[in-house]
Amino acid sequence: MIAKQPALGRPEATCAALIPVKKSASWWRLAQDERRAVFEEQSEHIKTGLKYLPAVARRLHHCHDLGEPFDFLTWFEYAPADSAAFEELVATLRRSEEWKHVEREVDIRLVREVAA
Ligand code: HEM
């Protein structure tokens, strides 16, 4: 997977999404292996995500223990031609078992202007 993961900042990847995610208190009460099972076996998060590499570059920041409003800050970059694929990816994840544990998310989209 690491081999397929593109770097951030590719010139052609002018679209981005910043999606802060907060999971429920009941999620955090699950044992780590139970969370893993929902994330991997039941929701196939990584298997799904891998289908969108190398089109989508990503970065994940954990902030659960920092007393912030969100548990994760997720960041994605992709080319306009891959916009539909990115929408399909987020829609698939939002239908998954994992997302039943998402209490709040804010979906912020950004577009970088290309200098003429
Ligand atoms: C581009 C395709 C994607 C791949 C390959 C991918 C892969 C992964 C992997 C491997 C992890 C485990 C932690 C790590 O190693 O970084 C992870 C965690 C996570 N991803 Fe994704 N992901 C993708 C897309 C997304 C999208 C589109 C979202 C949000 C809409 C998202 C939200 C999260 C969250 C919130 C976590 C933390 C889950 C937790 O620990 O409870 N991911 N992802």
Tokens of 72: 């994760």
Residue by residue, DSSP assigns 28-86 as HHS-HHHHHIIIIIIT-HHHHHHTTTTT-EEEEEE-GGGT-S-SEEEEEEE-GGGHHHH
Instruction: Give the pLDDT confidence score for residue 55 in this predicted structure.
Output: 98
Is the distance from CB of 106 to CB of 20 less than 8 angstroms? Answer: yes
Q: Which residue, judged by its Cα, is nearest atom 12 of ligand 1?
A: 46
The pLDDT value recorded for residue 3 is: 77
Q: Which residues of the chain have pLDDT under 50?
A: none
40-50, pLDDT tens digit by residue?
A: 999 999 999 99
Q: What is the pTM of this model?
A: 0.96
Give the pLDDT of residue 7. 96
Rounded to a whole number of angstroms, the distance between the first and last alpha carbons of the chain is: 35
How far does residue 115's CA lie from ligand 1's centre (Å)? Answer: 31
Q: Which atom of ligand 1 is nearest to the CA of 56?
A: 1
Q: Which residue's CA is the closest to the ligand 1 atom numbered 14?
A: 60
Task: Please give the domain boundaries of the chain with CATH numbers for all domains.
Answer: 15-111 (3.30.70.3420)
CA distances from 58 to 3, 28, 29, 31 (A): 13, 23, 27, 26
Q: 94: which residues sit within 8 A by CB, 6+ positions away?
A: 102
